[in-house]
Amino acid sequence: MILTVQLLLLLTLSLRTDGYNEYTVGECVFSAALTDVEFIVSYYFNKDPYVRFNSTVGEYVGYTEYGVKNAERLNKGPELQRIIGERDRYCTPNIQTFSSHILVKSVEPKIRLRSEKQASGDHPAMLMCSAYDFYPPAIDVYWLRNGQKVTGDVTSTGEMADGDWYYQIHSHLEYTPKSGEKISCVVEHTSFKKPIITDWDPSLSESDRNKIAIGASGLVLGIVLSAAGFIYYKKKSTGRILVPN
């Protein structure tokens, strides 16, 4: 599995005049193997890029009339040779640090397998296997039916960033329940030494599980309240003085 990472190395520079915003962003883009390093510098005006340098292209490219004029000027001047050398000066040392301190770290995903829809009539049932709060984002989630990999009736969201360095993914399986059939969700991630297999237990539906959980909570609460009432009654009874008639 190939992991592509973007590392922002340059601070965003902003100039605000009468509500306008102009800034520059530098990026190092590379694979998990730290190869195919690409250095990109983009110039934005009100969030729209107007000129960009890409080390793979080797020159500035303009996206607007103003950007094209600036690209022509920059490509003819000393700025081009200077920016070409920035990939090795900025990216190479920083991605090594980034890799040794961040990319080698991994966080195990939390896995949840539940029923999304019960089978009814001609409509199949649907299971959802979810993996939460994992890093790095490269992950493989698939299904087994009686030990064989399922290749159809599966949809997946792909890895979704949570915005806090963690990721989540959701895989759905449509199936028609059969007696004795075993369905499992398999998750492979770099944080695991071996794939994690979670078997689906159709003995209880999601709603039944929720009812049991609510009923158990109510039972515990009832016991606590009854015990508290009994203790209060005993204390009140102990403090009474009986007067004979």
pLDDT(9) > 50: no
Same domain, 95 and 131: no
Q: Looking at the domain assignment, is residue 46 inside a domain? A: yes
Q: Looking at the domain assignment, is residue 168 inside a domain? A: yes
Q: What is the pTM of this model?
A: 0.48
Same domain, 88 and 120: no
Closest by CA to 99, choosing from 7, 167, 11, 190, is: 7
Q: Looking at the domain assignment, is residue 22 inside a domain? A: yes
Q: Looking at the domain assignment, is residue 226 inside a domain? A: no
Same domain, 94 and 143: no
171-199 pLDDT per residue, tens = 999 988 888 889 999 999 988 989 999 99
Task: Give the model's pLDDT for residue 86.
Answer: 85
Residue 75 burial by Cβ neighbours in a 10 Å radius (0-12, 13-18, 19+): middle
Task: Give the model's pLDDT for residue 71.
Answer: 95
Q: What is the mean pLDDT of residues 127-140?
A: 92
pLDDT(20) > 60: yes
Distance between CA atoms of 63 and 28, rounded to whole angstroms? 21
Model confidence at 147, pLDDT cuts 50, 70, 90, reads very high
Domain final residue, candidates 75, 103, 131: 103
Same domain, 99 and 121: no
Task: Give the model's pLDDT for residue 27.
Answer: 84
Domain final residue, candidates 68, 103, 138: 103
49-74 pLDDT per residue, tens = 999 999 999 999 999 999 999 999 99
Which residue type does 43 have?
A: Y
Same domain, 98 and 115: no
Task: Give the model's pLDDT for residue 69.
Answer: 95
Same domain, 174 and 87: no
- Percentage of the chain beyond pLDDT 70 is 71
Number of domains forming the structure of the chain: 2
Q: Looking at the domain assignment, is residue 204 inside a domain? A: no
pLDDT higher at 219 or 241: 219
| CA-to-CA dists, residue 141 to 13, 130, 197, angstroms | 41, 9, 10
77-113 pLDDT per residue, tens = 898 988 888 888 888 777 777 666 666 678 999 999 9
- Percentage of the chain beyond pLDDT 90 is 36
Task: Give the model's pLDDT for residue 67.
Answer: 94
Task: Give the model's pLDDT for residue 183.
Answer: 93
Q: Looking at the domain assignment, is residue 223 inside a domain? A: no
Domain final residue, candidates 163, 181, 199: 199
pLDDT higher at 169 or 202: 169
Kindly write down the DSSP assignment for every residue of 18-67, as one continuous string: TTEEEEEEEEEEEETTS-S-EEEEEEEETTEEEEEEETTTTEEEESSHHH
Range of the domain at 189: 110-199
Task: Give the model's pLDDT for residue 236.
Answer: 64
Same domain, 95 and 114: no
